Structure 1
Amino acid sequence: MFKFDLTQQFQNILKLVPQPRKKSGFKVALVCIAVALILTLDHYLGDYRFILTLLHSMELKELNAIFSTLMLDHTDAQLHQLLYWAASIILFYFVSPILLVVFILKERLTEYGFAMHFSWDSYKPYLIMLIIMVPVIAYFSGTQSFLANYPFYTVERAEQLYPNFVIWQFFYLLQFIALEFLFRGFLLHGTKAKFGFYAIFVMMIPYCMIHFGKPLAETIGAIVAGIVLGIMSLKTRSIWPGVMLHYGVAIMMDLLVLYRKGIIL
């Protein structure tokens, strides 16, 4: 008979990560401060409305007029707003920590989950989880909160998915890569030498908090997702299976919501 020993499984996971070391204080402090600063800067500078207010207060009239036209008055203003948001995440979540790893910490990016593993064993658990998520996504895609929030790019009934929705999905994928690298790469692998397995829970807290303002079910789900994706990142030493799972869930949600709204058949 199949027997699942939770304690034994937990012990097996603990063996996957290094034991905490006393001489890793500087690195952990740098990583944590950097993540706090990154999240703060992205929260403000990634909001086009903050930039409009800033340009206005600095009396940069020409720049303000150009930016205002792109974000508010252009026929593709909605797409421009989303691309600006995604570009901010890519800059702060992805480019900034890479520069810190390479030039300040002087370490390899592969030590922060950037390695690609193409073995079936690395991706099999993620594919299973993605399949398990299908009925969950199907259910929540019909709830009012998800119908009101997704997809981020609002497709009108008479509008074609190409080019704007397709362009958005490409940048949506890029921001998921940046998201996974910051949390399951830089923060998780940057603190595991100090906290060991419990670095997952350090990472999970800010990851949950960036979901504030989204549907309640999604925000609570971020706690579970943060832990599960953290475990898998430590096990595979790679963020890429997590990117696949994360974007897979996102694109399924978007398409199912569009289907329920009658945009696609």
Structure 2
Amino acid sequence: MFKKTKELILNTWKNANQSATVHQVKNPEIDIKVILILIYTAVGLTVVKYFGSPACFLSAITQNSSDFQKGFYTYFFSSTMGNFHRLLWWISTIVIIYLVIPIGIIRLGFKEKVREYGFCFANVKNDYPLYLTMLIIMIPIVFIASSTKGFQAIYPIFKPEKNHLFPLFFLWQMAYLVQFIAVEFFFRGFMIHGIKNRFGAYAVFVSTIPYCMIHFGKTFEETIAAIIAGIILGTLSLKSRSIFLGVIIHYSVAITMDLFSLWRKGFFS
């Protein structure tokens, strides 16, 4: 199994490098598309960092007291639903920056099809055993990690009241899934498939750097795991030309993390 997986990864990287070499020979000029994608990546991460929370947005738009400021503060910080509203703001920012705008850039700017950037189900049937293997490996790791104080301090991201999982926790999980579609599309679709003709297999490693950085602030172990996940999921996206099995494995691990954390805290007892 290990040997076959190693061969699959190395062959995927080799094929990507060969395709990139052919493309560069045919197109030796400066690739404006690649430059735009990398600049947008930097800008997008900056916007999510500084405007991905209502507090940052509020401090940026005004320093003076106003009716809008008071209403905004009440909605996101003083109301009983404030935490839920803040999380939805965060997800909305991610969906706009990581999904909606990149799709607009691809369709209107590059005049290309979104499915060429992994937003399709190509080869999903062929590659799902690899993702199942990853899930089987990850679940015991997550279970062990869920016992640590650092893990329990962060997860679940949305902390429901005990015995009140419905409906907010289920609504949150639906929004959380959309967030993962946006994240996978941005890092494993828009980035990798947008720059692979210039970087070849190295596009996977380029995309892994900002993907690792968005995990800063989480536990050390999770941030290191993000590097490994970025390389593996990036390679599989490069092979299958689809992000959706990555979405499935990413979300499956995330909801497992939430459920294990809730179980550790006695939500199901």
Q: What is the aligned partner in structure 1 of residue 76 from structure 2? A: 71
> CA RMSD, aligned part only?
1.9
**Structure-to-structure mapping, 1:24-173, within 5 angstroms:** 25-57=31-63, 59=64, 61-117=66-122, 119-157=124-162, 159-173=163-177
Seen in structure 2, the aligned counterparts of structure 1 residues 26 and 73 have a Cα distance that, compared at 3 Å, is same
Q: Is the 8 A contact 1:16 1:235 kept in 2?
A: no
Q: What is the aligned partner in structure 1 of residue 12 from structure 2? A: 13
Seen in structure 2, the aligned counterparts of structure 1 residues 69 and 12 have a Cα distance that, compared at 3 Å, is same
Gapped runs of 5+ residues in structure 2?
A: none
1:109-164 Cα offsets, whole Å, 9 max, x none, are 0110001137532222111111111110110011111111000011233x410111
Q: Which amino acid aligns with 2:12?
A: I
What TM-score comes out, normalization by structure 2 length? Answer: 0.92
Seen in structure 2, the aligned counterparts of structure 1 residues 30 and 3 have a Cα distance that, compared at 3 Å, is closer
CA distance in 1, matches of 2:187, 2:6: 26
Q: Is the 8 A contact 2:124 2:242 kept in 1?
A: no
Q: What is the aligned partner in structure 2 of residue 214 from structure 1? A: 218
> 1:189 pairs with 189, 193, 215, which one?
193
Q: Which amino acid aligns with 1:188?
A: I
CA distance in 2, matches of 1:179, 1:135: 24
Q: Is the 8 A contact 2:20 2:197 kept in 1?
A: yes
Seen in structure 2, the aligned counterparts of structure 1 residues 172 and 235 have a Cα distance that, compared at 3 Å, is same
More displaced 10-residue stretch of structure 1: 115-124 or 148-157: 115-124
More displaced 10-residue stretch of structure 1: 31-40 or 21-30: 21-30
Aligned residues: 262
Q: What is the aligned partner in structure 1 of residue 238 from structure 2? A: 234
- Deviating runs (4+, > 6 A) in structure 1? none
CA distance in 1, matches of 2:235, 2:259: 28
CA distance in 2, matches of 1:3, 1:164: 42
How far apart are 1:198 and its partner, in Å?
Answer: 0.8
| 3-state SS in 1 of match to 2:215 | coil
CA distance in 2, matches of 1:121, 1:160: 40
Seen in structure 2, the aligned counterparts of structure 1 residues 170 and 7 have a Cα distance that, compared at 3 Å, is closer
Seen in structure 2, the aligned counterparts of structure 1 residues 68 and 5 have a Cα distance that, compared at 3 Å, is closer
1:34-67 Cα offsets, whole Å, 9 max, x none, are 111111111111121112213432x471221221
Q: Is the 8 A contact 1:16 1:234 kept in 2?
A: no
CA distance in 1, matches of 2:4, 2:164: 51
Q: Is the 8 A contact 1:28 1:190 kept in 2?
A: yes
CA distance in 1, matches of 2:152, 2:2: 41
